[in-house]
Chain A
Amino acid sequence: MGAPAVISLQQWDRRHGELCRAGMMEPSYGGPLGRHVQDGDLRLCELQFDNSPAALRLWNFLLSEEDRLHDARMAGKCIVGTMKDLGTVPVLAYALDNVVAFYPDGAWWTPCVMRHSDKLLRVADSLGLDESFCPVRAMAGAFVTGNHFPIPDMLLCSVGAVCDDFSAIAQRIEGLGHPIVWWEMPPRRSPAPGEPTVLLPTGFTVSPQQVAFVSRELRRVARALEQLTGQRLDATRLQRGFQQANKVRQTLHELRRLAYTVDPCPLPALEMLIAEMLAIHFCSDQPESLAVLEALLDEVQQRAQEGVGVLEKDAVRVFWINPVADLRVMNLLEKVGGRIAGSDYMFCHALEPIPQDLEPFEALARCALSDPMVGTVGDRGQRACQQAKDFGSEAVIISRIPGASHCAYEGDVIGKMIRRELGLPVLEIEVPPISDTVEPALRTRLEALMEIVHTRRRS
């Protein structure tokens, strides 16, 4: 199969032909990556990809999601749009038969992937959702044009301790005639003195009263799903759903452990970002998402065993906070000599196994309350410190999302915490959906960070 490397789209398409001739078997959604450019995914031409068949499968799986959703509609399956909670409600939905759940929120990457040819942000502008909002406003454009995902049979959205951008945009979508079942997520709070403490999967603590409340809200969500599908979400079904979700989470856990610790780095940052995303809604096909992750894990295990990777040895180990609106920036980090060693892409609660020794709704409520974004910035910063330490990170990058309500506050707090507790250099950047115009400045700042780490290594 050749040595691990990062290659361009053109190189991939040539390689795809070679691999096919050599007998590579692909799933139904397989094919050369270049065909997605014909569908408008223009940014692919400017990205660098891992050259393994497992990565090809990952990309094809991601880029065929819209087709998969349309096929599901044609097949008469229920399509559920889950919004904002990033990892909780899909577990309920996939516990039912003939249901496909996805995040319309995912449209926030469409302007990047399609290099604005989708015009989603322009449509959002026309709705009064201008660039002062987070790029997730593209989701409103997708609902208006109907050109991307099929309009779901049901929309479920968490509110309360969520970004204002998201809540406001979701409300506009409802105002456009798409009814939403809203469910409440309170801001996570530590127990008061004397109050019992519940330890959450991500290590945060919370009061049992909040667990009970969220558990009741999730039951309400479950009832809505039951009414939609005519099926019962009983304990057996839920436990089976948890098992499936946990298989994905456990595979991802091992993949992260290897990809973020083994030297040389066995899998690029971009593929890892996408692999992590599979945990939140399984890219609309739960069994296949597991197969995709297992293939990636096999590849990474083999590379680790052979001591080969996609980057030079001793690349600067970076802990990355927040997802980037422009995927190309993950390539840029590696071009300047960095690699990912730990991440908080705002959905770390979807990476932790769902407890299976608890009453199902309580277990899921604990996972939902583990969301780093529903607690304090201090909590999130503490966890980032712990994770950066565990992964042996040498620097931290906090990537601001343009317009996002949380980004104006968190960078300073988390940055100070990391400098104080770990003594690591911190860089705060802002990444728009297409970062080409700011790339020279971004590159210079990233290079400066790498230089700081190299200087620290020498001293």
Chain B
Amino acid sequence: MPCVGYNSAYVPPEWIAAHQLQPWRPTLRISDAATREGVSQDGCCSCARAFVAEVSSRRDVVGIVVAAVCDQIRRVSEWLIDPSSPPVLLFHVPATWQTSAARQCYRDELLRLGRFLEQIGGQSPTPQQLRHNMMDYDRERQAMRAMFDDLRGRPHADAVAKLHGDMTEDDSPAAPDHATDESASHTPIALLGSTVPRYQWWLYDAIEQHGGRVVLDATDYGERGLPRPFDAQLLADDPLEALAAAYLAMPHVRQRPNDGLFHWLHERMAHRHVRGLILRRNLWCDLWHAEVARIKASACVPVLDLDLDVDASAPQRALGRIAAFMEMLH
């Protein structure tokens, strides 16, 4: 089945699948992310660059959907526009999420995405087909939520990746000297931030290696990036509206206001008895960076602010800081 690459949890894979196309949200394996000739990497988000590099590398991609969830990805999306590349749709996700206008705007964007999918070979779904796809995905997500107690860290991230169409085996490097004592008790950790690219999944190993366990993955690929279950009545009456309502309600640092993220986080942290919070953010990501002080002030547990780029020294520096943080928590 022809494949459609996309970059964000705000692009519903069931909407793409309902158009008889294969959704694929790359987990970002390419660490030496391509950059344009003459463009300094200074100031450029490494994940945005990695997305461009990875989505351009797969030959069966017939279309690319870039959700403009930040200024960086909005601007990087222009790099993809090339006569020799698959068509690109810039998908607007409203930052204002509490108004009916925002909901309507997101719904209109879904309809525009639908027309784009039809132009690249997809087929418009009937309401019944859409409902069917939505229920399938909803069931998978429910199953994933049920697994949260057993499936932690890297396996959990891998399961989410598969839900988003990244079916390849996890071959990303482990943390150096990774060995975990399964019998030992672990300090419950919440991991917060934007996308953890697959080339940095050693983070999960490093946390375990030092006696921690990610019990709340609040990154974009984690639990925070899963929409709430669809409203049954709305699903029956108007599946597209049910889709829009569930997806637009996902908490995100970019929302204005973004209090919803803090409520969501604090509620889950309390429920999972989290003892330490690691904020993993990309260097140059202003949206997360600006919130560090607020996150530290509002969290009832110690917070480690981990800014990561793709330079060679990043893992070693991060590992040292994780080790110190975990030692402090013990």
Q: B-contacting residues of A (Cβ < 8 Å)?
A: 127-129, 132-133, 157, 159-165, 167-172, 174-175, 180, 182-184, 186-187, 189, 192, 209, 213, 216-217, 220, 376-378, 403, 405-410, 412-413, 416
Chain A: minimal CB distance from B113 (Å)? 12
The segment from B38-46, B142-150, B155-163 that touches chain A is: B38-46
- Are the C-beta atoms of A186 and B44 separated by less than 8 Å? no
A209 and B105 alpha carbons, distance in the complex (Å)? 10
| Residue B292 interfacial (CB < 8 Å) | yes
| Residue B291 interfacial (CB < 8 Å) | yes
The proximity string for B residues 37-81 relative to A, scoring 1 for CB distances below 8 Å and 0 otherwise, is 011101110000000000000000000000010111011101001
Chain B: minimal CB distance from A224 (Å)? 12
| Residue B102 interfacial (CB < 8 Å) | yes
Beyond A180-B257, A187-B68, is A127–B293 a contact (Cβ under 8 Å)? yes
Q: Which of A175, A220, A378, A406 contacts B71 (CB 8 A)?
A: A406
Q: Which residues of A contact B112 (CB under 8 A)?
A: 192
What are 7 A-B contacts defined by CB distance under 8 Å?
A: A129-B290, A164-B287, A167-B256, A168-B287, A184-B105, A378-B81, A405-B75
| Residue B92 interfacial (CB < 8 Å) | yes
Q: A-contacting residues of B (Cβ < 8 Å)?
A: 36, 38-40, 42-44, 68, 70-72, 74-76, 78, 81, 90, 92, 94-96, 99, 101-102, 105, 108, 112, 115, 254, 256-258, 284-287, 289-294
- Are the C-beta atoms of B289 and A405 separated by less than 8 Å? no
Interface of B is mostly: loop
Q: Which residues of B contact A132 (CB under 8 A)?
A: 284, 286, 289
- Are the C-beta atoms of A165 and B105 separated by less than 8 Å? no
Chain B: minimal CB distance from A241 (Å)? 23
Q: Which residues of A contact B44 (CB under 8 A)?
A: 408-409
- Are the C-beta atoms of B39 and A412 separated by less than 8 Å? yes
- Are the C-beta atoms of B257 and A171 separated by less than 8 Å? yes
Interface centre among A183, A216, A409, A410 (most CB of B within 10 A): A409
- Are the C-beta atoms of B286 and A165 separated by less than 8 Å? yes
Q: Which residue of B lies closest to A175 (CB)?
A: B294
Interface centre among A170, A184, A408, A412 (most CB of B within 10 A): A408
A174 and B256 alpha carbons, distance in the complex (Å)? 10
Q: Which residues of B contact A160 (CB under 8 A)?
A: 92, 94-96
Chain A: minimal CB distance from B238 (Å)? 20
- Are the C-beta atoms of A405 and B72 separated by less than 8 Å? yes
Q: Which residues of B contact A403 (CB under 8 A)?
A: 43
A112 and B285 alpha carbons, distance in the complex (Å)? 25
Chain B: minimal CB distance from A44 (Å)? 31
A180 and B39 alpha carbons, distance in the complex (Å)? 35
- Are the C-beta atoms of A168 and B289 separated by less than 8 Å? yes
- Are the C-beta atoms of A128 and B258 separated by less than 8 Å? no
Q: Which residues of B contact A183 (CB under 8 A)?
A: 96
Q: Which residues of A contact B36 (CB under 8 A)?
A: 412
A187 and B286 alpha carbons, distance in the complex (Å)? 19
**8 shortest A-B CB distances, which residue pairs?**
A408-B43, A168-B290, A128-B293, A164-B286, A409-B75, A182-B256, A159-B95, A405-B71
Q: Which residue of B lies closest to A405 (CB)?
A: B71
Beyond A167-B95, A187-B68, A220-B99, is A172–B291 a contact (Cβ under 8 Å)? yes
